[in-house]
């Protein structure tokens, strides 16, 4: 047994205490580590496993392909194309979102407006939701983003789809456009698609009217990503439900010709099938490019569109309201025959004006037309004839006839924004102005002036009913998905065939007999002749002094003060197939440009044989595939 002196014993005891202390410390450390490992692996293992899986796996909501919009022959009017874009996940952006945007801006061009928009979108969404930074990139820009991706934390390159309108302004008012979802949109409906940043919904036209049908149902994708957010592989994919295809009654080629013929006039034109009411062309000029709203319209372009006095954003065919002028005279003629006033021997003498209640009501022809029957009154568009006839018929019967012909109420066409126009009555004036209806009011209504207003689409309905004798209404949508839109058979109108026969005879004489107000611009080819009625609508009341000074002529006035020019017609006269309305704002001239436009369009429509075209209106809509032609 070793012998220790006191000094050695003290050293031994010190060493022992240190060893015990060190051992105890190590034991405590290991105990803490063991406890922590137990917490991580056993107690909270499932939670941390889920968090790790969430970091590795990203689940994304997918927008389904939007349904296509096609014309009656299967031509794609609105479809989808590839959209190379850049997304940003705010939660993964190192140094903050602003710095991330500045870094992205060094790779591709980003304006301050774009950056502000991204910041606003991120503020409205969860930080883990990918937000579009730039869309519709070129392949070169998209490639640069992918090349610099390791240095762009939180950035996700993506290939999606965007709406495309191949015919641009030609169909802008029919189709409308899609644009980003607004906060008000999210409040008005509950659809998870609206929560996808950058998602677009229909804002005008058919895109808005049938948005719920062409939108589809959301899908989702589960992808594995690395630390930089780059997609490694796709773990699962549900494409959702594609939107339904929509088949319109529009004939795209006739629409093109109509738009070209109107040019840059502030105008509207509607062409319908007389038998069915199908709208074959619905043009409002000038138009706009709906693609600009999809990709994000600039402030300068928006200002240009809103400040243009030709109102390119207004669908004049549905939402433009105008005094009908002489295109209202057929309504008075029907009411007069129906009331037994315009008998075969009924005549009115026109001396150039009529005096009533101390006021002179002038005819457009200062020297007058002499003695006229109903056919002559329509053919010459004699104002005095219809002043006197309206006075005898009375406003009550005129109002009734106008409403039977579809005026004073929306036509019910499948588009938003349609105006109702106005057919005045005694009760309306009393309610609106607290005043009694006067005979002078009736005289003004008799020539389509005064309080009465119409839309071009309502006039199209009027002339379709004149030509058919039935209560035909316009329609624009033939089929949604595989479902053909049902419509009732149009019943006969409550007018005698004699009334329609006299009216049609007057309209045929207007365009085909010498002296008719549209005779110089008639269709001369046999078998294609048209019948019609011209119209000139004043936009203001001229004083006696202005009449005497001769400044009522359009060429002496500023554009906004000139009369509107209107024409309604149908063709061919033997077996009517097509009806047309053409309205040119402030376009009344001695050359009757609106009649020339209508003549050319009607002739084109008649010579375009639908039977020679590809099969129209399939029994079942084609399957929705991006950029796939319909049958």
Say if residue 291's pLDDT is above 70: yes
pLDDT digits (tens, 9 = 90+) for 405-445: 999 999 999 999 999 999 999 999 999 999 999 999 999 99
Are 228 and 288 part of one and the same domain?
Answer: no
Range picked from 177-181, 288-292, 423-427, 547-551 for highest mean pLDDT:
423-427
Q: Rounded to an integer, what distance in angstroms lies between the CA atom of residue 130 and that of residue 196?
A: 8
- The pLDDT confidence band at residue 124, using thresholds 50, 70 and 90, is confident
User: Residue 531 above 90 pLDDT?
Assistant: yes
Residues near 361 by Cβ (< 8 Å), separated by ≥ 6? 353, 354, 355, 383, 384, 387, 440, 443
Q: pTM score, two decimals? A: 0.83
Inform me whether the pLDDT recorded for 14 exceeds 70: no
Q: Is the pLDDT of residue 631 over 60?
A: no
Scanning the structure block, which residue is given the tokens 């005898």? 392
Q: What is the mean pLDDT of residues 20-45?
A: 72
Do 273 and 135 lie in one domain? The reply is no
Pairwise CA distance, residues 121 & 72, whole Å:
39
Q: What is the mean pLDDT of residues 457-475?
A: 97
What pLDDT is recorded for position 217?
A: 86
Burial class for 106, CB neighbours closer than 10 Å (0-12, 13-18, 19+)? exposed
| Residue 226 and residue 336 in one domain | no
Average pLDDT over residues 277-288: 97
One-character DSSP codes across 300-367: HHHHHHHH-TT-TTS-HHHH--B--GGGGHHHHHHHHHHTT-S-TT--EEESSEEEETTEEEE-SSTT
**pLDDT class for 605, splitting at 50, 70, 90?**
very high
Residue 498 confidence (pLDDT)? 93
Lowest mean pLDDT among 176-185, 260-269, 462-471, 537-546: 537-546
If asked whether residues 428 and 520 sit together in one domain, one would say: yes
Residue 132 contacts residue 84 (beta carbons within 8 Å) = no
End residue of a domain, out of 233, 248, 263? 248
CB 142, CB 52: distance < 8 Å:
no
- Per the domain annotation, does 26 fall within a domain? no
- Containing 579, the helix (H) or strand (E) segment is strand 578-584
Number of C-alpha atoms within 13 angstroms, CB side, residue 463? 35
pLDDT at 559: 81
Phi, then psi, of 366 in degrees rounded to 5: -55, -40
Assigned domain for 531 exists: yes
Percent of the chain with pLDDT over 90: 57
Render pLDDT for 57-86 as a digit per residue (tens, 0 to 9): 666 677 888 999 999 999 999 999 888 888
CATH of the domain at 334: 3.40.710.10
Higher pLDDT, 21 or 582: 582
Number of domains the chain contains? 2
- In a shared domain, residues 468 and 420: yes
The pLDDT of residue 280 is: 97
pLDDT at 37 over 80: no
Tens of pLDDT, residue by residue over 243-277, are 999 999 999 999 999 999 999 999 999 999 999 99
CA 11-16-20 angle, 5° bins:
150
Whether residue 344 sits in one domain with residue 211 = no
| Average pLDDT value for residue range 533-542 | 83
Q: Are strands 246-248 and 69-70 parallel, antiparallel or unpaired?
A: parallel
Residue 65's closest CA among 168, 217, 169, 210? Answer: 217
Tokens representing 128? Answer: 């883990």
158 bridge partner residues: 85
Interval 539-553 mean pLDDT = 62
Taking only the tens place, the pLDDT of each residue in 328-368 is 999 999 999 999 999 999 999 999 999 988 888 999 999 99
Residues with catalytic roles: 326
Cα–Cα dist 144/150, whole Å: 12
Task: Look at residue 458 and tell me if it is in a domain.
Answer: yes
- Residue 630: pLDDT over 50: no
CATH number at residue 214: 3.90.1310.10
| CB proximity list for 431: less than 8 A, separation 6 or greater | none
**Burial annotation 24-53 (CB, 10 A radius, 16+ → b, else e):** eeeeeeeeeeeeeeeeeeeeeeeeeeeeee
In a domain, 198, yes or no: yes
Mean pLDDT, residues 157-173 taken together: 91
**In a domain? residue 22:** no
- Report the distance separating Cα 146 and Cα 133, nearest Å: 14
Q: What's the pLDDT at 460?
A: 98
Residues 467 and 549 in one domain: yes
Asked whether residue 228 falls in the same domain as residue 348, the answer is no
**Listed range (36-50, 132-146, 318-332, 551-565) with the worst mean pLDDT:** 36-50
Half-sphere exposure of 49 (CA within 13 A, CB side): 7
| From 33-47, 230-244, 319-333, 487-501, the region with the lowest mean pLDDT | 33-47
Report d(CA 504, CA 472) in Å as an integer: 17
Q: Does 565 have pLDDT greater than 90? A: yes
At residue 28, the pLDDT reads: 75
Residues 6+ apart with CB under 8 A from 339: 393, 397
In 181-337, where do the E strands start and end? 200-202, 219-225, 231-238, 246-248, 267-273, 279-285
Same domain, 525 and 579: yes
Does residue 111 belong to any structural domain of this protein?
yes
Q: What is the rounded average pLDDT of the residues 161-175?
A: 94
Q: What is the pLDDT of residue 52?
A: 53
In the numeric block, which tokens belong to residue 492? 């006969």
The answer to whether residue 631 is domain-embedded is no
Cα–Cα separations (whole angstroms), residue 547 to 235, 372, 410:
81, 25, 36
Residue 20 domain flag: no
Considering the domain architecture, whether residues 218 and 268 belong to the same structural domain is answered as no
| Mean pLDDT rounded to a whole number for the chain | 86
* 202 and 273, same domain (yes or no): no
Residues of the chain by 3-state class (helix, strand, coil), percent to 5:
40, 20, 40
Lowest-confidence segment of 120-129, 180-189, 423-432 by average pLDDT: 120-129
Strands (E), 71-114: 76-88
State residue 88's pLDDT score: 85
238 is in which domain, residue-wise? 58-248
Q: CA 315, CA 282: separation in Å to the nearest integer?
A: 9
Q: What pLDDT is stored for residue 612 in this prediction?
A: 65
161, 204: one domain: yes
Asked whether residue 602 carries a pLDDT value surpassing 70, the answer given is yes
Domain boundary among 203, 221, 248: 248
Q: How far apart are CA 273 and CA 616, in angstroms?
A: 15
């Amino acid at each position: 047994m070793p012998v220790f002196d006191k000094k050695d014993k003290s050293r031994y005891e010190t060493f022992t205490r240190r060893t015990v202390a060190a051992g105890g410390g190590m034991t405590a450390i290991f105990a803490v580590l063991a406890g922590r490992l137990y917490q991580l692996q056993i107690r909270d293992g499932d939670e941390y496993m889920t968090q790790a899986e969430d970091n590795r796996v990203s689940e994304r909501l997918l927008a389904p392909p939007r349904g296509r919009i096609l014309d009656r022959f299967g031509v794609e009017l609105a479809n989808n194309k590839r959209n190379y874009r850049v997304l940003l996940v705010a939660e993964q952006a190192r140094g903050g979102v602003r710095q991330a945007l500045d870094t992205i801006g060094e790779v591709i061009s980003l304006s301050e407006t774009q950056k502000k928009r991204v910041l606003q979108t991120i503020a409205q969404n969860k930080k883990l939701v990918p937000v579009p930074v730039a869309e519709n990139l070129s392949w070169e820009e998209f490639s640069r983003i992918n090349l610099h991706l390791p240095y762009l934390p939180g950035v996700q390159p993506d290939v999606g789809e965007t709406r495309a309108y191949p015919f641009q302004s030609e169909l802008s008012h029919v189709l409308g456009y899609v644009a980003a979802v607004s906060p008000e949109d999210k409040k008005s409906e509950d659809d998870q698609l609206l929560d996808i940043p950058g998602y677009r919904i229909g804002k005008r036209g058919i895109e808005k009217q049938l948005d719920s049908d062409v939108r589809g149902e959301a899908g989702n994708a589960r992808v594995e990503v690395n630390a930089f957010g780059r997609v490694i592989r796709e773990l699962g994919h549900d494409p959702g439900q594609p939107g339904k295809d929509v088949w319109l009654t529009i004939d795209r080629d006739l629409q093109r010709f109509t738009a070209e013929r109107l040019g840059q006039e502030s105008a509207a034109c509607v062409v319908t099938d007389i038998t069915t009411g199908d709208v074959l062309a619905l043009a409002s000029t000038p138009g706009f490019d709906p693609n600009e709203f999809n990709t994000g319209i600039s402030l300068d372009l928006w200002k240009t569109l809103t400040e243009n006095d030709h109102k390119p954003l207004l669908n004049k065919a549905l939402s433009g309201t105008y005094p009908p002028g002489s295109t209202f005279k057929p309504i008075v003629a029907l009411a007069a025959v129906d009331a037994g006033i315009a008998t075969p021997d009924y005549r009115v003498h026109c001396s150039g004006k009529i005096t009533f209640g101390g006021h002179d009501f002038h005819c457009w022809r200062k020297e007058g037309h002499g003695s006229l029957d109903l056919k002559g009154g329509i053919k010459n568009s004699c104002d005095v004839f219809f002043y006197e006839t309206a006075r005898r018929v009375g406003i009550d019967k005129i109002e009734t006839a106008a409403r039977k012909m579809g005026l004073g109420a929306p036509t019910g066409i499948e588009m938003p924004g349609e105006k109702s126009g106005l057919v005045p009555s005694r009760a309306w004036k009393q309610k609106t102005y607290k005043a009694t209806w006067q005979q002078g009011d009736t005289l003004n209504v008799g020539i389509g002036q005064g309080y009465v207003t119409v839309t071009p689409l309502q006039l199209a309905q009027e002339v379709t009913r004149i030509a058919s004798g039935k209560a035909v209404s316009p329609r624009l949508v033939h089929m949604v998905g595989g479902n053909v839109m049902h419509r009732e058979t149009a019943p006969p109108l409550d007018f005698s065939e004699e009334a329609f026969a006299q009216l049609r005879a007057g309209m045929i004489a207007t365009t085909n007999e010498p002296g008719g107000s549209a005779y110089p611009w008639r269709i001369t080819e046999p078998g294609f002749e048209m019948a019609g009625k011209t119209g000139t609508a004043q936009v203001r009341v001229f004083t006696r002094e202005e009449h005497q000074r001769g400044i009522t002529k359009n060429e002496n006035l500023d554009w906004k003060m000139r009369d509107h020019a209107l024409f309604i017609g149908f063709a061919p006269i033997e077996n009517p197939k097509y009806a047309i309305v053409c309205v040119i704002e402030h376009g009344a001239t001695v050359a009757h440009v609106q009649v020339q436009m209508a003549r050319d369009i009607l002739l084109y429509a008649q010579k375009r044989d639908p039977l020679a075209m590809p099969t129209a209106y399939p029994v079942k809509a084609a399957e929705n595939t991006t950029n796939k032609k319909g049958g």
